[in-house]
């Protein structure tokens, strides 16, 4: 398969970027999207040109590092799929493919397709943890958790923090990410210790990072590779209101 790639190239955070065109040929339909970029980089290196910088780690769809906007959609055209799990058979031979970094004020571009998503780390540091002793693995069954609550916690815990929700949102809101991290703790007994301050602290940090406000367009859910429901945003809003009322003087 042959493709024409239009890729965002930017030397650094203070440099002006632009789209540059490349052609790759004889790409296997079974190759992943990142493997296709590897092929392109090998070609560029042989030519003495700078390879395209992009984030990747596990390439198994669980780390969230492969943050690319492909033809205007976070992680590409396949629903519930990370970029590293996207295969070239999802495209047609001869297609033109536009590849950009995630666009958000809170995600500044570092180089080419790499953005700084450390804002997510600071939101987690503000309250995405528990301070109780949880014990070792054998202790997991010692604390009963209703199945419904366990399922809700696990659904939220599938968030890999990739940031596609932010990139897809017209307001660059991080409510789906923050909601998932709050909801994950909310449905477990271990998460009750910090419950009152968790949502308030994380939302305040989210606002401080410059993320926008949610206006219920649900674009975040549409591009989430783990298909996390916007219901976690409802829970976040409820928990934030509860925390605000309980912490009033």
Judgement on whether residues 140 and 241 belong to the same structural domain of the protein:
yes
Last residue of a domain, which of 93, 111, 129? 111
128 and 212 both lie in a single domain: yes
Residue 229, pLDDT above cutoff 60 = yes
Domain of 102, in residue numbers: 3-111
In this structure, are 215 and 196 located in the same domain?
yes
Residues 79 and 179 in one domain: no
Which of 111, 137, 168 is the endpoint of a domain? 111
CATH classification of the domain holding 27: 3.10.20.30
CB 107 within 8 A of CB 193: no
Residues 146 and 168 in one domain: yes
Query: Is the predicted pLDDT of residue 27 greater than 90, yes or no?
Result: yes
Contact 127, 198 (CB under 8 A): yes
Share of the chain above pLDDT 70, in %: 99
Mention every residue, 6+ apart, whose C-beta is less than 8 A from residue 52.
Answer: 7, 9, 37, 40, 41, 44, 112, 113
The model scores a pTM over 0.85: yes
Statement: residue 249 has pLDDT above 60: no
High-pLDDT (> 90) share of the chain, %: 86
- CA gap 229, 207 in Å, rounded: 21
Structural domains in the chain (count) = 2
Are 144 and 232 members of one domain? yes
Q: Which of 111, 139, 161 is the last residue of a domain?
A: 111
State whether 232 and 129 are in the same domain. yes
């Amino acid at each position: 398969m042959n493709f024409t790639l239009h890729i965002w190239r930017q030397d650094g955070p203070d440099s002006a970027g632009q789209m540059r065109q490349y052609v790759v040929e004889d790409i296997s339909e079974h190759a992943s999207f990142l493997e296709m970029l590897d092929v392109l980089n090998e070609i560029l290196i042989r030519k003495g040109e700078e390879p395209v910088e992009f984030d990747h780690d596990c390439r198994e769809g669980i780390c969230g590092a492969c943050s690319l906007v492909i033809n205007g959609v976070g992680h590409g055209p396949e629903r519930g799929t990370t970029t590293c799990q996207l295969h070239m058979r999802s495209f047609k031979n001869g297609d033109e493919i536009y590849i950009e970094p995630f666009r958000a004020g809170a995600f500044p571009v570092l180089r080419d397709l790499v953005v700084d998503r450390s804002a997510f780390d600071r939101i987690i540091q503000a309250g995405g943890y528990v301070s109780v002793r949880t014990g070792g693995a054998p202790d997991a069954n010692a604390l009963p958790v209703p199945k419904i609550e366990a399922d809700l916690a696990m659904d939220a815990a599938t968030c890999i923090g990739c940031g596609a929700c932010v990139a897809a949102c017209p307001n660059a809101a991080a409510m789906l990410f923050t909601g998932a991290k709050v909801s994950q703790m909310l449905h477990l007994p271990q998460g009750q210790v910090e419950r009152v301050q968790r949502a308030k602290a994380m939302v305040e940090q989210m606002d401080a990072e410059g993320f926008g406000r949610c206006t219920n367009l649900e674009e975040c859910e549409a591009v989430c590779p783990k298909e996390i429901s916007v219901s976690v945003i409802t829970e976040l809003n409820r928990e934030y209101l509860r925390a605000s009322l309980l912490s009033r003087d």
